[in-house]
Amino acid sequence: MLEITELVHSYGSHRVLDGVSLSVAEGELVSVVGPSGCGKSTLLRSIAGLIRPSGGQILLGGRPVDQIPDNLAIVFQDYSRSLFPWMTAANNVALPLRRRGLDRRRRREAAMAALDQVGLADAGGKYPWEMSGGMQQRVSIARALAYRPSLLLMDEPFGSVDAQTREDLEDLVLRVCAHHGMTILLITHDIDESVYVGDRVIVLTRSPARVSADLKVDLGASRDQIATRQLDEFVRLRAEVGRLVRGGSTTATTVLEQH
Amino acid sequence: MTHVATHSVRSVIRALGRLWLVPVTLVVWEIATRSAAQPFFPPPSAILARMHEIWFSGPASHLLLTDKALDDFGPSLARLFGGWLAAAALGVLIGTAIGCSSRLADYLDPLIELGRAVPPPLLVPFFLALLKLGTPAQLATIVFGVIWPILLNTIDGTRGVDRQHLETARIFGFSTAQRLRQVILPAAMPKIFAGLRLALSLALILLVIAEIFGGTGGIGYQLLYAQRSYLYPDMWGCLVMLGLLGYLLNSAFLLLERRVLAWHRGARQTN
């Protein structure tokens, strides 16, 4: 689905991405984790076609990304700057569907269905500023769902909400995306989260970013906030990702694997 | 219900508390002008009586307006709104174009700085020489005078659209028209409205100036005519009428703004 080879990007003389290679298969949820400021957002913006990387290649569905792909959606961290405050929630979700060639009534129906899936069936007429942060982020997720992208990018999507809401949203994304069989690349700096939501975790090094590990998460398809986090496999993976993010080398991985 | 009732009673009391100065000023004005007994300063009661006589003693079917009122205010208001609306259309159009294109901004910025620095009343003689006496020259004066706050605020507003809102529009493939109508213009609307309000009060000032210098009718011309004919209550009537007009225009505009920008007030209160 998504194939990135030796991606390099520099801002002036400052190198941010230093040969990042990764791939995401159809229907997979891959989390990318790394220390703050390591270039995660640059990676995401390159995939989205918002910036042109200095080097390397990005293939989305076999086609190189040289402009903004028409089958891609993003959920940004800062929902208040991504949702349009002058539109109701339903209109925020429905507006992008114009390009899908749906008429007004069909757009409205699709928007209401997507809002229903994120638990906001009654909030279509509300404006974003009339909602809590968690609800606003649900609207952004509904907008992405209704758009039916072949790849969904999420940039620290739960970074601006409280802990309880964060867990609710993590489960919401897991449930809804499994239901639709969506392909997701989720960027986060939260080690726990990267393991909890991911089918795979890709760990980036400190800036300039390279891939330091690509770990398979063997926790099964259904996850539970309490039970999953107690599993030995979860604890082991979290510790490993933690060491890698904190700048530990691959030797830590080797040591762990010998146990 | 009782909560709503006490709330509305309280807001009425608060409004009265603010308004008490108006009758007090009128009474002081009345006493001062009566005791001075100068023909240049007629008492407000005489001004109001004169205003009633010349403008507001018409038939009920015309909302009490006399033919003279329609003759005096009608053309003036038409010029005022015509000029203001034309300036709004031009200002928003050009402002959006400049706000969205930095290349255009580089070319036009010096011209704009020059144009806005010219005091608009000085343009009356210029437009009188250039255009026909009367409405064309007056409209040109108003449009050229009031376009600047609209233009500059539109440039500022369309330039200041949040980057992430623009990126969201790009990601979801909005067409150029969609981006303009659904993202850039709504985001710039609070600034544009601030410019429009400023322009409206400026338009009233320029209307009077244009009518005084190059007019054959309208409220500004009446003001000049009354002053030259030593009709002081008439002259004062024009002044009071202009004051009332300015107040009414501003209040009506605020009402409109409150409706159109309801989202903006809401968003600001919660952030």
ipTM value of the model?
0.86
Q: Which of B162, B166, B168 to mutate to test the interface with A (most CBs of A within 10 A)?
A: B168
Give Dmax (Cα) for chain B: 74
- Region B221-231: what's the mean pLDDT? 90
Q: How confident is the model at residue A101 (pLDDT cuts 50, 70, 90)?
A: confident
Instruction: Match domain A2-71+151-258 to its CATH number in 3.50.50.60, 3.40.50.300, 3.40.120.10, 3.40.718.10.
Output: 3.40.50.300
A255 CB-near residues (< 8 Å, 6+ apart) = none
Cα–Cα distance between B151 and B196 in angstroms, integer? 9
In a domain, B124, yes or no: yes
Q: How confident is the model at residue B4 (pLDDT cuts 50, 70, 90)?
A: low
Q: Which of A129, A135, A140 to mutate to test the interface with B (most CBs of B within 10 A)?
A: A129
- Region A184-205: what's the mean pLDDT? 92
- Region B178-183: what's the mean pLDDT? 94
Cα–Cα distance between B201 and B247 in angstroms, integer? 9
Which of A81, A130, A147 lies at the smallest CB-CB distance from B162? A81
- Region A217-224: what's the mean pLDDT? 83
Two tokens, residue B237: 């009537």
In a domain, B138, yes or no: yes
Which of B168, B267, B271 lies at the smallest CB-CB distance from A82? B168
- The answer to whether the CB of A209 falls within 8 A of the CB of A40 is yes
Which of A50, A72, A99 lies at the smallest CB-CB distance from B167? A50
Domain that holds residue B118: 73-218
Q: What is the pLDDT of residues B138-156, one digit of tens each?
A: 899 899 999 999 999 999 9
**Nearest-CA distance A134 → chain B (Å):** 15
Cross-chain Cβ contact B263/A127 below 8 Å: yes
Q: What is the CATH number of the domain that holds B85?
A: 1.10.3720.10
Cross-chain Cβ contact B167/A99 below 8 Å: no
Which of A84, A127, A147 lies at the smallest CB-CB distance from B183? A84
- pLDDT for position B136: 86
Residue A257 has pLDDT above 50, yes or no: no
Assign A24 to helix, strand or coil: strand
In chain A, CATH 3.40.50.300 sits at 2-71+151-258
Tally DSSP H helices, then E strands, for chain B.
13, 0
Assign A10 to helix, strand or coil: strand
In a domain, B61, yes or no: no
Two tokens, residue B235: 């002259």
In a domain, B246, yes or no: no
Cα–Cα distance between B152 and A29 in angstroms, integer? 47
Q: How confident is the model at residue A256 (pLDDT cuts 50, 70, 90)?
A: very low
- The answer to whether the CB of A102 falls within 8 A of the CB of A110 is yes
Cross-chain Cβ contact B170/A50 below 8 Å: yes
In this prediction, what percent of chain B has a pLDDT beyond 70? Answer: 97
Cα–Cα distance between A60 and A40 in angstroms, integer? 18
In a domain, B188, yes or no: yes
- As a whole number, the mean pLDDT across chain B is 89
In a domain, B82, yes or no: yes
List chain A residues with CB under 8 Å of B271: 80, 129
Flag the least confident range among B10-14, B38-42, B166-170.
Answer: B10-14
Which of A82, A87, A98 lies at the smallest CB-CB distance from B164? A82
- Region A139-154: what's the mean pLDDT? 93
- pLDDT for position A229: 87
In a domain, B58, yes or no: no
- Region A137-166: what's the mean pLDDT? 91
As for how many domains chain B has, the answer is 1
**Nearest-CA distance B102 → chain A (Å):** 19
Q: Note the Cα B122 to chain centre separation in Å.
A: 20
In a domain, B225, yes or no: no
- Pairs across A and B, CB distance < 8 A: 66
